[in-house]
Amino acid sequence: MVKSRLLALSAFAVLALAGCQKNVLLVKRSVCPAVAVPYYAGDVTLFAPGDTGNEARNVDVVATLTELRGVCNDATDTLTSAVSFKVIARRTSAQGARAVTLPFFASVVHGGNLLVSKQLGSVTLNFADGQTKAEAAGAANARIARSAAALPAEIQERISRKRKAGDLDAATDPLADPEVRAAVRAASFEVLVGFQLNDQALAYNVTK
């Protein structure tokens, strides 16, 4: 399975450091999943029917998945993340109206490498006659048990306790502690969205 851009930065990017007017520092963690596009799955190249070889002169349509966003509802025992994105495409020939349907996936990944679920869908791009560009909107939903994304109380206290400016540990990242880092990873989820590529399309993305 391809790695996501967020995985390269680690699942610990869900932590943020914020200050208030009295210089009391507070580390906050969200139980909501991060959203990301996996490496090599953010664009797809279609080649003209009948042509052989993945060469530039044979390119028919190129599409890119962009503007990925997730809106999370964390008010219940089940976390629901509504994911939206846009697909922007360009075709080589502007002749004739044409519809191109592209499949996509939305996978929930736990702890950086465990696949929890995978949803398949598709987006259809409608090229008008004389136009080489088209775009379409896509959406998916992900559900995660709140209990699985919750940290143990002791770990949560170590992360979220208030720190005053000047304290010895005020500038210390709680994730510097291996125990805290492991607990956060175990309770971290991501929603990965990308094009559902066949072996040929994936190999092209890897080598281009």
- Model confidence over 144-158: pLDDT tens digits? 999 999 888 888 777
Distances (CA, A) of 200 to 57, 61, 119, 197: 17, 15, 22, 8
User: 152 near 186, Cβ under 8 Å?
Assistant: no
- Model confidence over 51-97: pLDDT tens digits? 666 777 889 999 999 999 999 999 999 999 999 999 999 999 999 99
Beta-ladder partners of 63: 44, 89
The total number of structural domains that make up the chain: 1
